[in-house]
Amino acid sequence: MDLLIKSATIITLNSENEILKGDILIENGKISRISEGIELPKEKIPSTKVIDAENLIALPGFINAHTHCGQTILRSYADDLPLYEWLFEKIFPAEGRLTKEIVYYSSLLGIAEMLKCGTTMFFDMYFHEDMTAKAVLETGIKAVLSRGLQTDERQQQRLDETKELIYNYSSDKIKVFFGPHSVYTCSYELLEKVVELSEEFNTGIMIHLSESEDEVNQCYEKYDMSPVKLCQKAGLFTRPCVAAHCVYVDDEDIEILAENGVTAVYNPTSNLKLGNGFAPVFNLIKSGVNVAIGTDSAASNNNLNILEEIHIAALLEKGMYKLPEILKAQEVLKMATVNAAASAGIHNTGRLQEGYSADIVLIKADDLNMLPCYNPISNIVYSSNPSNVFATIVDGKILYMDGKLLTIDEESLVKEIKSIEKVLKESI
């Protein structure tokens, strides 16, 4: 069914602060027209659903540029720990117990939460990633997926799984990237191999990069250079590269990221919760680095609420520099939309523009916490929460509307998650 969104307040993100009042016509999953007073021809009326958006704000769907959807099942399993203790002593051993079936339901749980927050696409790194792909296709959300890679006796198997993902799932909905986990879990040779393969398969790379002080110190000890320089040396930045965290990057690192068109993904909550500190977001942007925004996983955040991430991102920088104008609301909104799409070379989403995919979030503008509205962009960044999300639309299909998930059976998902929780409580 086609869609006509009538009389919306439209944040296009096409140009600085462009806000229109008008209609959006969606045909065959694409935005075919944005204009005032669109009238449907008679023959189109039966096949077009009309949404009265007089009290709604329409903007590009949010893109969560770094998460681990299959890890949602470990929410609140290991909290208040530093990164390496959290990862090596708690998370990796627990992940050994996660079956394909668990990762499937965990992915559904993560996707359900993201849809309720207005997310239309996410970047993911995990294992049993074919199960995340299955959940993506069933629910209708979009994703850039990667099988996490590490150096050990199963390194080749993980590379083979990445190739299988590419063969089996690459489509309009799913892009597959190579996902070397980090410089501390991957050998230099593996990093080089990933570059070679990403060239061969004409795809990109996502990696955790310079997340903690320990990572950087160990990298200097082992390689006598920073993680950013090591990745550059291995050739990672000759490919489209999405680097999560980038907390401990010095001026030379930032220049390298900017010159090579690397996207840095800001994960403020995860960085705070794991005690890793604050990424130099202002310096990154000022130096020309493309910055996107991500929640990281529900095991380190502990939610997948991109609206909260946007809010925290906008506030942190102001407080750190004691400069409220340093990171404006519109800039943060771009990180969660346009910039993220650009990071994967996807040029038909992240904006509301004719010809683009209809990946749209509709936000209620007349909820109490959204009133009054002198500036819709400010209200979204500083005032909104997931209860204000009215609809999440991907490729013109409504996946969430008025409190209901339309492609996920929420009741049976809750039952499945509770029974998995029971099993995991006894085994991890």
Ligand X SMILES: CSC[C@H]1O[C@@H](n2cnc3c(O)ncnc32)[C@H](O)[C@@H]1O
> In the complex, which residues of this chain contact ligand X (CB under 6 A)?
68, 71, 87, 91, 95, 125-127, 148, 150, 181, 208, 211, 270, 296-297, 300
Quick one: which segment of 128-136, 157-165, 295-303, 398-406 binds Zn ion (CB under 5 A)?
295-303
Give the one entry of ligand X, Zn ion, none that residue 357 binds, where binding means its C-beta sits below a cut-off of 5 to 8 angstroms depending on kind: none
* Minimum separation from the CB atom of position 137 to ligand X (A): 20
Residues 6+ apart with CB under 8 A from 6: 23, 38, 50, 51, 52, 53, 54
Cα angle at 76 between 361 and 333, to 5 degrees? 25
- Which is nearer to ligand X, 126 or 390 (by Cβ)? 126
CB atoms within 10 A of CB 413: 16
Q: Is 128 annotated as a binding residue?
A: no
Of 95, 124, 296, 308, the one binding Zn ion (CB under 5 A) is: 296
Closest residue to Zn ion: CB criterion: 296
Q: Is 208 annotated as a binding residue?
A: yes
* Minimum separation from the CB atom of position 289 to ligand X (A): 19
User: CA–CA separation, 211 vs 66, rounded Å?
Assistant: 13
Query: Taking a C-beta distance cutoff of 8 angstroms, is the pair 46, 345 a contact?
Result: no
* In the block, residue with structure tokens 């550059």: 232
Measure CA 381 to chain center.
17
User: CA–CA separation, 108 vs 337, rounded Å?
Assistant: 22
Give the one entry of Zn ion, ligand X, none that residue 126 binds, where binding means its C-beta sits below a cut-off of 5 to 8 angstroms depending on kind: ligand X
- Which is nearer to Zn ion, 69 or 377 (by Cβ)? 69
Query: Taking a C-beta distance cutoff of 8 angstroms, is the pair 383, 212 a contact?
Result: no
Give the one entry of Zn ion, ligand X, none that residue 334 binds, where binding means its C-beta sits below a cut-off of 5 to 8 angstroms depending on kind: none
- Which is nearer to ligand X, 128 or 364 (by Cβ)? 128
* Minimum separation from the CB atom of position 29 to ligand X (A): 31
Q: Is 95 in the site for Zn ion (CB under 5 A)?
A: no
Q: Which class for 397: exposed (0-12), middle (13-18), buried (19 or more C-beta within 10 A)?
A: middle
Q: Is 276 helix (H, G, I), strand (E, B) or coil?
A: coil
Tokens of 394: 């991907």
Q: Is 181 annotated as a binding residue?
A: yes
Annotated binding site for substrate: 95, 147, 154, 181, 211, 296
Which spans of this chain sit near Zn ion (rule: CB under 5 A)? 296
Detail the residues annotated as belonging to a binding site: 66, 68, 95, 147, 154, 181, 208, 211, 296
Q: Which residues are annotated as a binding site for Zn(2+)?
A: 66, 68, 208, 296
